[in-house]
A and B are shown apart, each in its own frame.
Chain A
Amino acid sequence: MVSSPNELFNQPLAVINIGLKIFAEALQEQAVPCVHVDWRPPAGGDSNLLAILAKLNS
């Protein structure tokens, strides 16, 4: 269990990046181990479409 942010950043990092790939690429360019998860908000975050999907999937 890491007790403080300082301690976390004082050890080698292994990163899981979710969403924007540019952050993963920036870390990979610095030789930081990083796994990228290709994720985006459902329906692009459009609340109207999300409501429709909820009706159809109910």
Chain B
Amino acid sequence: MKAKIDNANATALQRMLDSQPVWVDVKAAHEVIPAMDKYQIFHAGPPVSWEEMCQPMQGAIVAALKYEGLATSTDEAFALASSGKIKFSPCHEARAVGPMTGIISYSMPVLVVENKTFGNLAFSTINEGAGDVLRFGAYSDNAVHRLIWMEKVLAPALKAAVNKMEGLSLKVIMAQALQMGDELHMRNQASSALFIKTMAKPLAEVVDDNKKLQEIMAFLTQNNDQFFLNFAMAAQKATADAAHGIEYSTLVTTIARNGVNVGIRVSGLGDQWFTAPAPPVDGLYFTGFSAADANPDIGDSAIMETCGLGGLAMAAAPAVVRFLGAGTYRDALKYTNDMYEITVGENPHFAMPNLDFRGTPMGIDIRKVIETSITPVINTAIVSSKAGVGMIGAGVARAPLSMFEQALLAFVEKLNL
């Protein structure tokens, strides 16, 4: 049995390593998600009902219903959301990911990323920047107007530019950014800068209206350091999906949180979720906030950790350590070194200068997690438990051990051992 599992894991790992995620297009969600209708909404994390959802996720859904024109007021949107007419599903089950609340509705433009090696597609929302934003549960008019501007102005420009470029390799930007001090989950300063440097000329070429071009460049360059995160998430999703469905593989291909529960999926166990209560985030809070104000861990952005970045690559990003309240740089080294204990390989394409160019830990094995009791470390933003308040800090969360225990038990049951 060991040989079968090890071989399957080697195959899954190789598929992750061989993946070449390329941003190829921007399309409306309903154009890429089969049979999607206006009354369908996708969310971060494992399945969750409206009644069970945390406040920020409910707030984001209210914003989406107003944005879609399905409700003309906040009260009407809450009533519709709780009426049973809206179908809620995890983004991950539609080959998609979204940070924080992760809400994707019918008309929202999504980034289309193609894994050129294996042909699979992955989708992500476009990052809204800072302030009043849906991903943190805001449903104000400002939040809705921003979504409309992104659909009408930003998305067509990005689409035209990437079409003209015939695609943009995301792995190249991610590898460079890792060497410039990003871990690509909570620090995307370098990746966003590289992205904007790459896109400035193509955008200028495809946007004729000078006022619109100014708006776009202001949006991309002002208070928007996490803009590249969504591209990286789609790249990681395309990479993880390529390693999913390998019989006998015990590698984790999904880690995602909905603010109430966190769930994992395993390559050799189909689409079954293994869940546990979402953990609290240990971190630093903005002035005026404390742990008492925080929602438990939320977002599909743990796809960064699933494929070896974010918390797993903390050693690459000394600057993020203080931002997260994660101790000293020595602690960051320990986080990454611990992650080598639960992974089956390393990614030489993502070399970390601070570890003498050692590759990032890659391929989380549920057997190793159980054996060592070391669980994946997740770097993350902290959102207020009240809808609309937004981001109140940043920190580190640990994926609960019980999910991995459940997965291991399901694995032996499936194999009749």
Residues of A with Cβ closer than 8 Å to B?
A: 40, 42-44, 49, 52-53, 55-58
Contact = CB atoms under 8 A, between A and B. Distances in A.
B371 A58 contact: no
B373 A40 contact: yes
B246 interface: no
Given A58-B1, A58-B2, A53 B373 contact: no
B417 A53 contact: no
B389 to A, nearest CB: 38
Contact of A56 (B1, B372, B373, B405): B1
Interface string B230-268: 000000000000000000001000000000000000000
A42 B417 CA distance: 20
A49 B405 contact: yes
A43 B371 CA distance: 4
Nearest to A44: B373
Contacts of A53: 367, 370-371, 408
Contact of B412 (A40, A43, A56): A56
Contact of A43 (B250, B373, B409): B373
Contacts of B219: none
B294 interface: no
Contacts of B367: 53, 56-57
A43 B1 CA distance: 19
Interface residues of B, number: 15
B412 A52 contact: yes
Nearest to A41: B373
A42 B367 CA distance: 11
Secondary structure at the A interface, as helix, strand, loop or mixed, is: helix
A55 B250 CA distance: 14
Interface of B: 1-2, 5, 250, 367, 370-373, 405, 408-409, 411-412, 417
With most chain B CB atoms within 10 A of its CB, the pick from A55, A56, A57, A58 is: A56
Contacts of B1: 55-58
A56 B371 contact: no
Contacts of B405: 49
A49 B412 CA distance: 11
A49 B408 contact: yes
Contacts of A57: 1-2, 367
A58 B6 CA distance: 11
Contacts of B371: 42-43, 53
Contacts of A40: 372-373
Nearest to A39: B372
B32 to A, nearest CB: 38
A39 to B, nearest CB: 10
Given A57-B2, A57-B367, A58-B1, A52 B409 contact: yes
Contacts of B417: 52, 55-56
A40 B367 CA distance: 16
Contacts of B412: 52, 55-56
Contacts of B411: 56
A54 to B, nearest CB: 10
Contacts of A58: 1-2
B41 to A, nearest CB: 38
Given A57-B2, A57-B367, A58-B2, A52 B373 contact: no
12 contacts: A40-B372, A42-B371, A43-B370, A52-B370, A52-B412, A53-B370, A53-B371, A53-B408, A55-B412, A56-B250, A56-B367, A58-B2
